[in-house]
Structure 1
Amino acid sequence: MADIGSTLPRRQVGRYLRELRQGAGLTIAELARRIERGATTVQRLETGTAERIRLWDIDAICRVCGADDTTSNALKGLAQQGNTKSWWHQYGDLIPLDFDVYMGLEAGARKLTSFQELVHGMLQIPDYARTLTRIVHPSEPDSEIARRVELRWRRQIMLTKKNDPLPIDVILDESVLHRVIGNRRIMEAQLRHLADIGTRPNIDIRVLPFGAGVPLGDLTGPFTILDFVNPVSAGPVEPPVVYAEGFIGDMYFEEPDVVQQFREAHANLRRVALTAQDSRQLLREKAREFAR
């Protein structure tokens, strides 16, 4: 049995279990009956309010709902994370390498606020994403690379859907416009895509120019602040989370003071970044350079 507090891993377990049940077409009561547990227990697992999580329950739910081994092992790994407000997800630790924790977290967000040194995953065109994915996973078959790229591309539906599209506020370091990912053709298409999609009212893309120097006096590295809505109307409010991607693992911060520090960092970077309009102009100018 894993004893975990009100942390991100527990909420993530609940989010995935809820999606598994809904995908299997089961009600909470039906699932509870099949795993021989009370409906209240299943509901608490799904809302992330269970004080204790039995790994047997996760295994049973995954089995009944037809989850694959990767998902089942990942959810059990999440359940075994410690009670800490700064959660370190090291690649290849308890959670399988090919399970994307962040993507599941992103799916539940109502707003993204980010600073990036590569194009944000939600804004990448397939060729840009494919190039990076192949570099990270050099031994994977083409079919697996294609699957990963397709999943990333589908995420953009959250930005472009007609009703209630996801707001995203992204600051791109100017190095993003110069660092060639793939080839010049890919870069031209990617930068044009950023300029075009940045005209949508829910998408704010700004470039932090080299001329701004180091506005914070130090380098933060890329980060994304995720804000959420309640998983259910009567459920607890999900606190915001800062996601900081690293080479050998990811950090997730929930402490209010730390989250506020990142908000202030983003606000300070935004003050010296180009306006959205000037950023689009620079993106198009650089795209034309790559087209030559």
Structure 2
Amino acid sequence: MLTGSTLARRALGRELKRLREGKQMKQVEGGRLIGVSPQTIGRMEDGLPTKVSDLYINALADGYGATDNERAVLLGLALEVRTAQKSGGGWWRAYADELNEGFDHYIGLEEAANRLSVWRVTMVPGLLQTAEYRRAMAWTEDPEMPSDQVEKRVQLAMKRQNRLDDPDFAVDIVLMESVLRDQIGGPSVMAGQLQRLAEVSESAAKISVRVVPFTASGHLGSLVGSFALLGFPKLPATGLVEPPVVYVEAYAGDLYLEREAEVTRYRNAFAEISRVALDRDTTRQLLLSIAKEYEA
């Protein structure tokens, strides 16, 4: 599986930060080692795109007192980053103008993940949206948006869904019933969208769609709000495994949570929400039943 450079950058940044803090050095001191600003060191440690030459890596390894094994890991990760970058980056780069600020980072994580758990209280997740549903969302967001711009967003959404064809990618989506009842685009669009959800859940063993009905009680879903939990495979070059990430999408900006305590809290919340969700077969019956209501 090709993970691209996103995970390698995160792993490299994590190792560099660990070594720097082990020497009780500030980012500004790390920057002096290679002649860059502390902000650049911060970008490297946060796994954001920046230069990762072997010259930089060796200088940092020297300054941080890295062992031979630690240096080899750093150089291996840096090579993996550069190799992925030479291929032109992720496919979504062509749609950069249509991505909310920072969302390209999420798509990179989604492309690299092998497990995705999603809880939604509003809107169908992008991976399962129909073209009509995504188009209606775009018009709702900006009724004055030019048609060609809308269609580019639809193309991006549809291309994202190629991820579902990967047999090693497991998806567990749990939706609040309100997602099914919110008439984005009107009854016809919603009927098609719910039929799509029913078809996907039935046809793909590794894609599960379940619904928490309005009648369910005693769960955290409404309190927690929508989120996605992403898990990752081993990096091919080094065998390292990046820790999971919780992604919380908000209207004014996105939030990424990586601390073990935070991830555990969201993982436990997802398990609690899943406990009150309908099973896959009952969910499918509900989806088709509401779709028929929209068609009536």
Provide the TM-score with structure 2 as the length reference: 0.68
**Aligned counterparts of 1:130 and 1:287: Cα–Cα separation in 2:** 19
Cα distance change of structure 1 residues 248 and 204 upon mapping to structure 2, 3 Å threshold: same
Contact map agreement 2:221 2:273 (CA 8 A) in 1: no
Residue equivalent to 1:78: none
Kindly state the Cα deviation for residue 66 of structure 1 after the two structures are TM-superposed: 7.3
Contact map agreement 1:125 1:190 (CA 8 A) in 2: yes
Residue equivalent to 1:212: 216
Aligned mate of 1:13, from 46, 49, 57 = 49
Residue equivalent to 2:30: none
User: Structure 2 matches for 1:260-275, cutoff 5 A?
Assistant: 260-275=264-279
**Aligned counterparts of 2:261 and 2:74: Cα–Cα separation in 1:** 32
Kindly state the Cα deviation for residue 235 of structure 1 after the two structures are TM-superposed: 5.0
Aligned mate of 1:252, from 252, 256, 277 = 256
**Aligned counterparts of 2:74 and 2:276: Cα–Cα separation in 1:** 50
Residue equivalent to 1:146: 151
Aligned mate of 1:122, from 116, 127, 130 = 127
**Aligned counterparts of 2:252 and 2:43: Cα–Cα separation in 1:** 25
**Aligned counterparts of 1:4 and 1:169: Cα–Cα separation in 2:** 33
Residue equivalent to 2:230: 226
Task: Give the SS at the match of 1:212.
Answer: coil
**Aligned counterparts of 2:179 and 2:270: Cα–Cα separation in 1:** 17
**Aligned counterparts of 1:150 and 1:265: Cα–Cα separation in 2:** 33
Kindly state the Cα deviation for residue 224 of structure 1 after the two structures are TM-superposed: 0.3
The one-letter code of the counterpart of 2:174 is I
Contact map agreement 1:240 1:259 (CA 8 A) in 2: yes
Contact map agreement 2:102 2:254 (CA 8 A) in 1: no
Residue equivalent to 1:136: 141
Listed one character per residue, the Cα deviations across residues 181-237 of structure 1 (whole Å, up to 9, x for unaligned) are 001100000000001100110111110011113512861110000011233331532
The one-letter code of the counterpart of 1:13 is P
**Aligned counterparts of 2:147 and 2:175: Cα–Cα separation in 1:** 29
Residue equivalent to 1:158: 163
Residue equivalent to 2:171: 168
The one-letter code of the counterpart of 1:148 is R
Cα distance change of structure 1 residues 123 and 175 upon mapping to structure 2, 3 Å threshold: same
Kindly state the Cα deviation for residue 138 of structure 1 after the two structures are TM-superposed: 4.3
Size of the aligned set, in residue pairs, is 233
**Aligned counterparts of 1:221 and 1:42: Cα–Cα separation in 2:** 40
Cα distance change of structure 1 residues 178 and 235 upon mapping to structure 2, 3 Å threshold: same
Contact map agreement 2:229 2:247 (CA 8 A) in 1: yes
The one-letter code of the counterpart of 1:160 is D
**Aligned counterparts of 1:150 and 1:185: Cα–Cα separation in 2:** 21
Kindly state the Cα deviation for residue 102 of structure 1 after the two structures are TM-superposed: 1.5
Contact map agreement 1:181 1:187 (CA 8 A) in 2: yes
Structure with greater helix percent? 2
Cα distance change of structure 1 residues 101 and 136 upon mapping to structure 2, 3 Å threshold: farther
Indicate yes or no: 2:232 matched with 1:196. Answer: no
Contact map agreement 2:80 2:237 (CA 8 A) in 1: no
The one-letter code of the counterpart of 1:257 is A
**Aligned counterparts of 2:182 and 2:294: Cα–Cα separation in 1:** 11
Task: Give the SS at the match of 1:153.
Answer: helix
Cα distance change of structure 1 residues 233 and 66 upon mapping to structure 2, 3 Å threshold: closer
Residue equivalent to 1:89: none
What CA RMSD, in Å, does the superposition of the two structures yield over aligned residues? Answer: 3.5
Moved >3 Å (runs of 4+) = 40-48, 64-67, 95-99, 137-140
**Aligned counterparts of 2:225 and 2:278: Cα–Cα separation in 1:** 19
**Aligned counterparts of 1:158 and 1:194: Cα–Cα separation in 2:** 16
**Aligned counterparts of 1:46 and 1:185: Cα–Cα separation in 2:** 50
Contact map agreement 1:115 1:223 (CA 8 A) in 2: yes
Kindly state the Cα deviation for residue 145 of structure 1 after the two structures are TM-superposed: 1.8
Unaligned runs of 5+ in 2: 1-35, 55-72
Listed one character per residue, the Cα deviations across residues 33-79 of structure 1 (whole Å, up to 9, x for unaligned) are xxxxxxx998644657xxxxxxxx9xxx98x9878xx96xx9xxxxx
The one-letter code of the counterpart of 1:103 is I
**Aligned counterparts of 1:168 and 1:66: Cα–Cα separation in 2:** 27
Kindly state the Cα deviation for residue 151 of structure 1 after the two structures are TM-superposed: 1.4
Contact map agreement 1:108 1:228 (CA 8 A) in 2: yes
Residue equivalent to 2:247: 243
**Aligned counterparts of 2:102 and 2:243: Cα–Cα separation in 1:** 26
